Amino acid sequence: MKITRIQAWAVRMKLSEPYTIAYESVSHAANVFLRIDCDTGLFGVGCAAPDPGVTGETPEGTLASLFDVADGMLRGEDPLRHAQLMERLKPPLRAQPSARAAVDMALYDLLGKFAGVPLWKLLGGYRSCIPTSVTIGILPVDETVERAQELTAAGIRCLKLKGGRSVDDDVERVRRVRAAVGPDVELRFDANQGYTEQGALSFVERVRTADLELLEQPTPRGQLKLLGRVTSQTEIPVMADESLMNLRDAFRLARDDLADMVNIKLMKVGGIAEALHVNSVARAARLEVMVGCMDESALAISAGLHFALARPNVAYADLDGHLDLQDDPAAGAVIFRHGVLYPNEAPGLGFTGELP
C-alpha cells in the first residue's frame, strides 16, 4: 500500500457562544483538514487546530507546511510505517506541532481502517467512554451562575471555569457556582497563566470551601519554578497546561516535581504518538493526566478521545472544543451524551462522512 495523494484545506468556523479567557476573546476557530489517499482506495483524515498564542502556528502556515513538506515526504510511502514517517517529518516540522498532529491522526486513521477496528482498541482499549468537563469562559458572575445551572440541568456533571484576570472576581464566581450547582458537580478552574504566585495562593485559600478538583496553569508558561512554588504550597492539585508543549517539557516538570498533573493536548505535542510518550513520562512520575483540546473539530476531538480511552492513567478529559463550532465538517465523529464522550464503532478515528 502506497500513499498517492495528499489534500489539505482550511475551514473557518463560527462559535455559537464566543468566550473570553485570561488573555483573549474568541469568536471563530480555524482548523486545517487533511486527507491522505492510498492506492488501495483507503484514506485517512486528520485535523490541525493552529493557534498563534499556543502552538505558534497560523492556518496559512500550517497549510504551507502540509503542502511544501508533508506532501513531498509522504507521497509514494507506505502509510503503515507510522513511526518512520513521523520521525522523518519531525525535523522540518519541529515548530509546527498541529501540522504534525494532523498527519499523525490521518496515518492512525488509515491504520485503524486497514485493521478494521476503532483506533482506541488498537492503542490499548482500556475504557470505552470517558466523562469530559464543559468550559465556561470569563463572564459576569450572574451570567456564569446561569450558564452553570443550564449545563448541569442538561446532565453535565463536571464544569471548568475560566479566570485569571481578577482574583477577587474569580473567587466570587467559584463560590457562587458551587452554591448554585451543589456538592455533586465537579468544579475545575483554569487561570490560563493569569496569576502571580501570591495571587494563586490567595485564590486557593479563599476558595478552599468550594472543593475545587484542580487548578490549571495558574502562572506564566515560561516560569516553571514559579509554577513549582505554587504547586508545593497548595492543597488543590495544580495542573500544567501551557507549560507542557513537548516531551522535554514533560521530563522537566516530572523531574523537578513542578506540578501534580499535566494536560496533554495533541495540538501542542504533535499528535497521538507523541502524546503516548508524554503520557509514559507522566505515568512514571505518578503525575495524573488530563487529555485536553483547543477549539477543534469533532475529528480532532475524536483523536484525543481515542488516546484517552487507550491508557489507564488518563484520569480526566477536557474534550469539549467541538461543542460550540457551527458547520463543523466532521460533526458526528464522536458521541456526546450527558457529559460523557463515546467513540462510534467505525474503524480508525470513526468519522464515516465525506469532508468537503
CA 61 to chain centre: 21
What is 3-116's CATH number? 3.30.390.10
- Is there a contact between 319 and 341 (Cβ–Cβ < 8 Å)? yes
DSSP state at residue 66:
I
Give the residue-averaged pLDDT of 281-301.
Answer: 97
Q: Give me the residue label for grid cell 467541538.
A: 322
Give the residue-averaged pLDDT of 308-336.
Answer: 96
pLDDT at 3 (0 to 100)? 98
Provide the annotated active-site residues. 162, 190, 216, 241, 265
Tell me how many degrees the CA angle 202-206-210 measures, rounded to the nearest 5: 135
At residue 23 the predicted structure's pLDDT band, cuts being 50, 70 and 90, is confident
Write the CB contacts of 177 (distance below 8 Å, at least 6 apart in sequence).
144, 145, 148, 159, 161, 187, 210
pLDDT at 24 (0 to 100)? 77
pLDDT at 229 (0 to 100)? 98
At residue 20 the predicted structure's pLDDT band, cuts being 50, 70 and 90, is confident
| pLDDT at 353 > cutoff 90 | no
Per DSSP, the residues of 287-323 read: -EEEEE--S--HHHHHHHHHHHHH-TTEEEE---TTT
Return the number of other C-beta atoms located less than 10 Å from residue 91's C-beta.
8
| pLDDT at 25 > cutoff 90 | no
- Rounded Cα distance, 242 and 221, in Å: 5
pLDDT at 264 (0 to 100)? 98
Q: Which amino acid is at 271?
A: G
Residue 304 has φ and ψ, to the nearest 5°, of: -65, -40
* The overall pTM is greater than 0.85: yes
pLDDT at 135 (0 to 100)? 97
Q: Give me the residue label for grid cell 478552599.
A: 208
pLDDT tens digits, 93-145: 999 999 999 999 999 999 999 999 999 999 999 999 999 999 999 999 999 99
Half-sphere exposure of 25 (CA within 13 A, CB side): 5
Q: Name the CA dihedral angle for 47, 51, 52, 55, rounded to a multiple of 10 degrees.
A: -70
Give the residue-averaged pLDDT of 9-30.
Answer: 88
Residue of higher predicted confidence among 24 and 205? 205
- Is there a contact between 28 and 13 (Cβ–Cβ < 8 Å)? yes
At residue 252 the predicted structure's pLDDT band, cuts being 50, 70 and 90, is very high
Give the residue-averaged pLDDT of 270-279.
Answer: 98
What is the domain partition of the chain in residue ranges?
A: 3-116, 121-343
Question: How far is the first Cα of the chain from the last one, in angstroms, to the nearest whole number?
Answer: 25
pLDDT at 35 (0 to 100)? 97
The CATH number corresponding to 121-343 among 3.90.550.10, 3.20.20.120, 3.40.30.10, 2.60.40.10 equals 3.20.20.120
CA 64 to chain centre: 23
| pLDDT at 352 > cutoff 90 | no
pLDDT at 18 (0 to 100)? 84
At residue 21 the predicted structure's pLDDT band, cuts being 50, 70 and 90, is confident
| pLDDT at 356 > cutoff 80 | no
| pLDDT at 17 > cutoff 90 | no
At residue 19 the predicted structure's pLDDT band, cuts being 50, 70 and 90, is confident
Residue 61 has φ and ψ, to the nearest 5°, of: -65, -35
pLDDT tens digits, 142-163: 999 999 999 999 999 999 999 9
**Mean pLDDT taken over the chain:** 96
Give me the percent of the chain exceeding a pLDDT of 90. Answer: 94
Give the residue-averaged pLDDT of 319-333.
Answer: 95
pLDDT tens digits, 192-226: 999 999 999 999 999 999 999 999 999 999 999 99
pLDDT at 129 (0 to 100)? 98
